Amino acid sequence: MIFRLAVLSAFALSASDQTRPSASSQDLPSVKQAVAAFETADKACNDGKGRSETPDSGSLGWGESSWLRDYWEMYELTGQTRWWDQIIAHFDRMIANMTDHDGDGFKSWQTQTYSTALIRAEPMHNRGTATIQAKLGKILNGKHAAQVTGHRYLIELIDVKTYAVRDATAAKVLVPRASYESGKPITIAPHVVVVVTGQPAQGDTFCIWTTAPRAIEYVVHQGMVLTPVARFIESALKRPEGDRYHTKAKEFLAVIKKHFLHGNEKCWIDTGDGAGAYRFTTEPTERYPNRILPHNQYLALARTWLILADATGDELIRRRAVAMAKNFKRALRLVDGAYEWHYWDWIENGKPGHSGIEDTSHGRIDVGFVVEATRRNVVFTDQDAHRLAKTLLARMWNGSTTQPAFGGRVNTKEGKAMPLVDWIDLGQWDPMVFQLLATNVVRASDTRRARALPTVLVARKQMLAVKP
């Protein structure tokens, strides 16, 4: 279904914006049209089940979460609780797949996708003076890491000029004989490479331990799927006691509080002056064990807590939401009236460090959090939202109203990003944001447009709600 989409002829530009081109005069599609298109797309994806059947947290966080968000948006547009039924059915399936994989008493979902492989090599009380070192002790490349088996290997010196290699775990000889050359890399198994340097003695043996990628819990995946569920809980708890949606909301709330609020307390850190955030787990195959999370990763769950703090009045939930809001706000830098920030800021060995500038894709989670916090009057204000709108329009936009594109990071026009979700909500503070991002939906494929229209229409509804 091809929709003619347009953007905000109903919104006049402010005096300071009179130099901007006027919005299109075409009309947005009706809610009925948008619902029909979405229903077709929903049915086409696993018969309406999305990715809710998978236990993999990566697929849930970056795939299933978008369906949960879509269902909430469809409810926002129609007021029909059949979309709540979809949220309930999906989340029930997800709860059934939660496991306590690390035995800490709390359940979640996990994935190996971002886990590393480890390689450690040591001499075994040898007589010679040769040393051994793994060429790469931690394999960050996911495809390479996945080929590491977790086996233990042995390099044995048959004589001072000849060695053999055995897989001690599989009880298998891998290399019967090979010539020893000091400093020459020895490939033991795919991506398991060591270097023996110096003078060995006959009988010397070197042991190589490998650790295969392990399943790990990720706060960001939890927050992505829990936020639309939290919106359902907030609304359903307003219904009378005994109402089936009220009852289901309380059931979901109990699961979330136990396993994701209290379950993540072990990863919480205070960062001073009332701020704080979550850390990565201490699992050895984490990329950065125990380091504070990148901004988008802790803010994904922080948005869940913003919603549930208002829904329940729970003091711990509110403290965590406020602390993460403060942690992110102090990471923002004001440049020419707009905000920019790093993807990640941390302190290690007492010294501050940071990554490059936040990218447009992950940045939408940061922006979505600020929008939520501003609407709920938590730490952020309308001024902050205006500054983020200026980030998009003054720092990232290519200047075209017919084919708008945006930079790949929040401080540049370089790139051809097409942001929509969360970014479009900044249209509440500057209608030009809505105009530009909605324009791109017109040019999208039918499938993407069917998924994107609810987001556009809900953003428009929010703007109308706050129109002066």
What per-residue confidence (pLDDT) applies to 28? 67
Same domain for 138 and 282: no
Least trusted range by pLDDT, from 324-338, 364-378, 438-452: 438-452
Burial class (CB in 10 A: 0-12, 13-18, 19+), 193: middle
Residue range 92-110, pLDDT digits in tens: 999 999 999 999 999 999 9
Residue range 395-421, pLDDT digits in tens: 999 999 999 999 999 999 999 999 999
Q: What percent of the chain has pLDDT over 90?
A: 89
Do β-strands 351-354 and 345-348 pair in parallel, antiparallel, or remain unpaired?
antiparallel
pLDDT at 1 > cutoff 90: no
What per-residue confidence (pLDDT) applies to 167? 98
- The domain that holds 354 is classified in CATH as 1.50.10.10
More confident site: 318 or 22: 318
Same domain for 188 and 49: no
Strand order across the beta sheet in which 162-167 lies: 138-139, 117-123, 205-211, 152-159, 162-167, 172-179
Give me the mean pLDDT over the 317-325 stretch.
98
pLDDT at 2 > cutoff 60: no
Task: Decide if 180 contacts 204 (C-beta within 8 A).
Answer: no
pLDDT at 461 > cutoff 70: yes
Task: Decide if 281 contacts 289 (C-beta within 8 A).
Answer: yes
The distance between the two most distant Cα atoms of the chain, rounded to a whole number of Å, is: 87
Same domain for 451 and 341: yes
What per-residue confidence (pLDDT) applies to 29? 77
More confident site: 187 or 440: 187
pLDDT at 7 > cutoff 60: no
Same domain for 347 and 430: yes
In this prediction, residue 467 has a pLDDT band, given cuts at 50, 70 and 90, of low
pLDDT at 21 > cutoff 60: no
Same domain for 222 and 270: yes
DSSP string, 188-255: EETTEEEEEES---TT-EEEEEEE----B--HHHHHHHHHHHHHHHHHHTTSPTT-HHHHHHHHHHHH
What per-residue confidence (pLDDT) applies to 285? 97
Evaluate whether residue 98 is within a structural domain.
yes
Least trusted range by pLDDT, from 20-34, 159-173, 187-201, 227-241: 20-34
Evaluate whether residue 1 is within a structural domain.
no
- Count of CA atoms in the C-beta half-sphere (13 A) of 345: 16
Evaluate whether residue 451 is within a structural domain.
yes
Evaluate whether residue 8 is within a structural domain.
no
Same domain for 75 and 190: no
Q: What percent of the chain has pLDDT over 70?
A: 94
Average pLDDT, the chain: 93
Rounded Cα distance, 256 and 308, in Å: 10
Evaluate whether residue 4 is within a structural domain.
no
Evaluate whether residue 85 is within a structural domain.
yes
Same domain for 154 and 177: yes
Residue range 103-132, pLDDT digits in tens: 999 999 999 999 999 999 999 999 999 999
Q: Which of 189, 211, 233 is the last residue of a domain?
A: 211
Give me the mean pLDDT over the 68-87 stretch.
97
In this prediction, residue 464 has a pLDDT band, given cuts at 50, 70 and 90, of confident
Same domain for 204 and 231: no
What per-residue confidence (pLDDT) applies to 425? 98
Q: Which of 179, 211, 243 is the last residue of a domain?
A: 211
Same domain for 59 and 26: yes
Q: Which of 211, 234, 264 is the last residue of a domain?
A: 211
Instruction: Choose among 348, 244, 359: nearest CA to 292.
Output: 348
- What is the extent of the structural domain holding 166? 117-211
Question: Number of structural domains, the chain?
Answer: 2
Same domain for 150 and 103: no
Rounded Cα distance, 38 and 32, in Å: 10
Same domain for 331 and 267: yes
Amino acid at 341: W
Evaluate whether residue 6 is within a structural domain.
no
Task: Decide if 447 contacts 1 (C-beta within 8 A).
Answer: no
pLDDT at 208 > cutoff 80: yes
Evaluate whether residue 350 is within a structural domain.
yes
What per-residue confidence (pLDDT) applies to 26? 47
Same domain for 303 and 251: yes
